[in-house]
Structure 1
Amino acid sequence: MFDVTAPPQKKATRYGFGEGLVAAGEKDPRVVVLGSDITGSVMTSMFRDRFPDRFFSLGIAEQNATTVAVGLALTGYVPFMSTYGVFASARNLDQLRVSVCYNEANVKIGGGHAGISVGPDGATHQALEEIAVTRVLPHMTVIVPCDAVEMKKATIAAAEEITGPVYLRFGREAVPLYTNESTPFKVGRAEVFREGSDVSIIACGAMVWEALVAAEELSKDEIDARVINLHTIKPIDRDAIILAARETGAIVTAEEHQIHGGLGGAVAEVVVRGHPVPMEFVAVNDRFGESGDPDELMRAFGLTHREIIAAVKRVLARRGS
């Protein structure tokens, strides 16, 4: 379905977020956006420039911005509040838990600069825990799109299709752009990006491309890997995961997130109850980030197709294949 043999075009998912906000705002006058002094970084500036009367700058005060967003939601608006993921999820947890989720408020949170690939900003700004933090909250939908096109679709869907809290995770650095308008996307439904029968690689965000590259390389060793884009972490697509476990008999997960509590843990929770099979996990291994070049950090933290290939071979050895 996707050609990974040629150098891909690249675009940061944050641009898809900005484009999605504008598209949602054009369709629905209730859509408003709240900024936290980093509008250019998370691309809420696109919405601000298009709809200045529906954009509110609340400064570096994420907790206040979230509380204001709840008030707007409870009076009928569809507010998006966006800042860096570390602040949107960790500093903001009490507001997310009590003000947003307890009230089932129709608030959308954009968590930008997610993952280790933020690079020079370092550990304080590299959001590596927010999937775990947000998916545990009742009523919260958690989406991690794989590229800028899917990010735009997810942002529009958050406004149009979901009445309730949504956390959208996206990055700063340019990543491969390989889906298009015709590529299927539906909140809560995983998409098989490559068919395979020997092992399933389940990934989200930037790691989906790495999974596709890994699958291509594995095919040279006559290992037939299925690649699944699990963009929606919650509600999770149990049927797709259990089917993958049943049909391939082994699973590897890949994510730009801590190994505990993220995509891998969510998939394991389904597998252990639905159809237990051997699993391996490619993720940040219980450590804080560091400052550095984004690509170098991805290699240093073991978040490339090479680590996925190694994990596939380990899990197949454990299974006895």
Structure 2
Amino acid sequence: MSQMTTSPQFVSMRDVFGDKLLELSKRDPRVFALDGDLANSTKLDKVAENNESKFLQMGIAEQNMLGVAAGLASVGLQPWVCSFAAFIVKRAFDQIVVSIAQPKMNVKMIGAYSGLLNGCTGKTHQSLEDLAIMRTQPGMIVLAPADSVELQQMMEYANQYDGPVYIRVARDSYPVLFDEQSYRFQVGKGVTLASGTDVTIISTGTQTSRCLEAVEQLKQEGISAELLHLPSVKPLDAEAIIASARKTGVVVTAEEHSIYGGLSSAVAEVLVENFPVPMERIGVQDKNSESGSNNALLNKFGLTAEHVAEKARKVMARKKMAQ
């Protein structure tokens, strides 16, 4: 049975996150939701309104919030800490390192409003470095779902895993790519969403749906593109990356994140040590982000399906020149 849905619809990850965490908070006595005064945006308000005893309001004090989470975990509870990715990762990183990552505390961290597309809340609220920052921590699980189905399964995994987990969640609605009956998320494993022989496109998180569009565009041109979705940024499916690179001979990476330190860097590390091939990177280049509408930002920073297809053609041309 195919893992992908045949009739995609658009669903908000943050709404599904709020519903799922409410379910977990009712089902698992260990689970508590910690909020940094953003519950109406992150949808932690669903826990606040429907399971008030499991909701802890920490205020606009992210460093303290992560410290409290570590304390809760130290007595056997399982805190789920949620804020904008820009705040939870960058403002509280020292607390994450010292109080959570090093002692491997059972804390689940949700970076909401990740990437570029955050509803014009401003560039100070954007996070293009969170994957890079979090994957530097030993023992940290770093996940980026492509859709709401995958997010729910990641949350189930995180609820059963004993240790720190970071999940990157988007604000807007995205296409539902996976069939909830047949798809099964596995940490450390990639998912081949399209098989091809000419070029490999490797993506994570929200960028995967745009890469699927690029695959279809390339198909119309007679180009056979393979799409490997990596929901688990750490641990990474090195075996799948190498196998696909061997198959096509060229790789394009794509992420709604800086090109430094995130998915592209992780993939490059695998390839340079095991099977070097021509590679192009889709992501925010060495530039500061800007405020704007979704479409304007995607075009400005080269993240559209058209930009992915363009990079695929470019890397294929490099392969041809090298032959």
On whether the aligned pair clears a TM of 0.5, the verdict is yes
Between the aligned partners of 1:294 and 1:280, the Cα distance in structure 2 is 23
Superimposed CA distance per residue, residues 55-106 of structure 1 (whole angstroms, 9 cap, x where no aligned partner): 1001011111100000111110111000000011111110011111011101
Question: How many residues in Structure 1 have an aligned counterpart in Structure 2?
Answer: 318
- Gaps in structure 1 of 5+ consecutive residues: none
TM-score for both structures, normalised by structure 1: 0.95
Look up the equivalent residue of 2:58 and give its one-letter code. Answer: L
SS in 1 for 2:125: coil
Cα distance in 1 for residues equivalent to 2:113 and 2:173? 11
Match of 1:130, as an amino acid?
Answer: D
- Structure 1 distance, partners of 2:282, 2:144, is 16
SS of residue matched to 2:189? coil
Runs of 5+ unmatched residues, structure 2: none
CA displacement at 1:115 relative to structure 2: 0.8
Q: Is the 8 A contact 1:33 1:54 kept in 2?
A: yes
Question: What is the match of residue 170 of structure 1?
Answer: 169
Assess if the C-alpha contact under 8 Å between 1:184 and 1:191 holds in 2. Answer: no
3-state SS, counterpart of residue 98 of structure 1: helix
Q: Distance between the aligned counterparts of 1:43 and 1:245, measured in 2?
A: 39
Amino acid paired to 2:132: A
Task: Read off the aligned partner of 1:29 and give its amino acid letter.
Answer: P
The percentage of aligned residue pairs carrying the same residue is: 39
Which residue does 2:30 correspond to in 1? 30
1:23–1:156 Cα contact (<8 Å) kept: no
Partner of 1:140: 140
8 Å CA contact 1:200–1:250 kept in 2: the answer is yes
Q: 1:82 aligned to 2:109?
A: no
Aligned to 2:201: 201
Opposite residue 295 of structure 1, the aligned amino acid is: N
- The residue identity in structure 2 corresponding to 1:36 is G
1:117 is the counterpart of 2:117: yes
Q: By how many angstroms is 1:285 displaced?
A: 0.8
Write the letter of the residue equivalent to 2:63: Q
Shift of 1:227: 0.8
Per the TM alignment, residue 301 of structure 1 is displaced from its structure 2 partner at its CA by 1.3
Residue 304 and residue 311 in structure 1: after superposition, are their counterparts in 2 closer, same or farther (change >3 A)?
same
Q: Which residue of 1 aligns with 2:301?
A: 301
- The 8 Å contact of residues 20 and 151 in structure 1, kept in 2 or not, is answered as no
1:48 paired with 2:48, answer yes
Q: Deviations over 1:266-295 (max 9, x none)?
A: 111111112111111000012122111112
Structure 1 CA distance, aligned partners of 2:178 and 2:49? Answer: 27
Matched letter for residue 146 of structure 2 = C
Q: Which AA in structure 1 matches 2:13? A: T
**What displacement does 1:149 show?**
1.6
Structure 1 residue ranges (4+ consecutive) displaced by more than 6 angstroms after TM superposition: none
C-alpha separation in 1, matches of 2:74 and 2:156: 20
Q: Indicate conservation of the 8 Å contact 1:36/1:59, yes or no.
A: yes
Conserved? CA contact 2:153–2:184, under 8 Å: no
Which residue identity is paired with 1:171? A
Q: Distance in 2 between matches of 1:107 and 1:118?
A: 25
Letter in 2 for 1:180: D
Offset at residue 119 of structure 1 (A)? 3.8
Is the 1:21–1:156 contact (alpha carbons within 8 Å) kept by the matching residues of 2? no
Quick check: 1:252–1:312 contact (8 Å CA) kept in 2? yes
* TM-score, structure 2 normalization: 0.95
Find the counterpart in structure 2 of residue 259 from structure 1. 259
Amino acid at match of 2:205: G
Q: Trace 1:205-244 onto structure 2 (pairs within 5 A).
A: 205-244=205-244
Deviation at 1:3, TM superposition (A): 7.7
Q: 1:71 to 1:201 in 2, by over 3 A?
A: same
Relative to 1, partners in 2 of residues 1:19 and 1:180: Cα closer, same or farther, differing over 3 Å? Answer: farther
Letter of the 2:249 counterpart: G
Range with bigger deviation, 113-122 or 15-24: 15-24
Q: Aligned partners of 1:232, 1:292: CA distance in 2, in Å?
A: 29
Partner of 1:313: 313
Cα separation, 1, equivalents of 2:166 and 2:122 = 22
Tell me: CA distance 1:310–1:3, structure 2 relative to 1, closer, same or farther (3 Å).
farther
Equivalent residues in 2 for 1:279-298 (5 A)? 279-298=279-298
